[in-house]
Amino acid sequence: MNLRDKLAVPAGQRLRLSQQDPQQTPGCHDRDRAAADLEAMLTELRHLQYRLYAENRRAVLVVLQGMDAAGKDGVIRHVFSGLNPQGCRVTSFKVPSSEERDHDFLWRIHKAVPPYGEIGIFNRSHYEDVLVVRVRKLVPKSVWKARYGQIRAFEQYLTENGIVMLKCFLHISRKEQKERLLRRLEDPDRNWKFSESDLEERGLWDDYQRAYEEALAACSTPWAPWYLVPSDRKWYRNWAIARLLLETLREMKIRLPPPRGDAKALLARLRDAD
């Protein structure tokens, strides 16, 4: 069984996040082994990324969601910084701008979908519009509820047009979040990241957990499943997402395109050239 089978959220099944252990490490139980595996996986990922770029017929979109301090930035640093930056783009979705608010909620998302041949990483995503919008009561229930179907249709449209999706929910415990926020606040090099709103969001923990449970259940589909990644242990989180990406790229069976013309004839001409 590969890791995707172990971590996939079954379509239509609502998981109770309180019953999912964020400290478990399915597939890898040793930190030292995980570090060695990660280095080996990054080597293969760079090779597959090159083939994806050369093929130029499909793209991969990695969606990272999770509570504050779940480790989205850490994953980008430890996993995706090991890839070729020319074929890898990161988009962070914050509070919508005035221009973005003048369009439908998927407008800014579609603009950021990676072109063929590239890997795109979303730090937060269109799911904010069924999470924070719901918890903060920014729109009526009838609006955010309808978005589940709109998201499923949008993601199916993307996958049918060559965008392979890898959606990862970074699952941490409330206790671990508190410890990470405390370390962030106590560190002079990182306390700029902390704001009063972080405490407000933490006070809404239970509401966010319910919102995530429903979003995962409603939008984990055969064409774009959600993966629940236990993330209390940072080393496992990084290993798991690298492994999920590697399994995804392997399954795509990416082939290099044929040479543009007769390779032997071109080689002979080049050798004879001045």
**pLDDT tens-place string over residues 13-25:** 999 999 999 999 9
Determine what percent of the chain is predicted with pLDDT higher than 90: 85
Domain ranges of the chain: 3-272
CA-based Rg of the chain, rounded to a whole angstrom?
20
Q: Which of 143, 142, 148, 156 is nearest to 212 (CA)?
A: 148
Q: Please check whether the domain covering 3-272 is classified as CATH 3.40.50.300.
A: yes
Residue 274 has pLDDT above 70, yes or no: no
Torsion of CA 215, 220, 221, 222, to 10 degrees: 180
Mean pLDDT of the chain: 94
Across 35-70, b (16+ Cβ under 10 Å) vs e yields eebbeebbeebeebbbbbbeeeebbbbbbbbbbbbb
Report the percentage of the chain scoring pLDDT > 70: 99
Query: Could you tell me the CA-to-CA distances from 247 to 5, 48, 75, 155 in Å, in that order?
Result: 11, 11, 17, 20
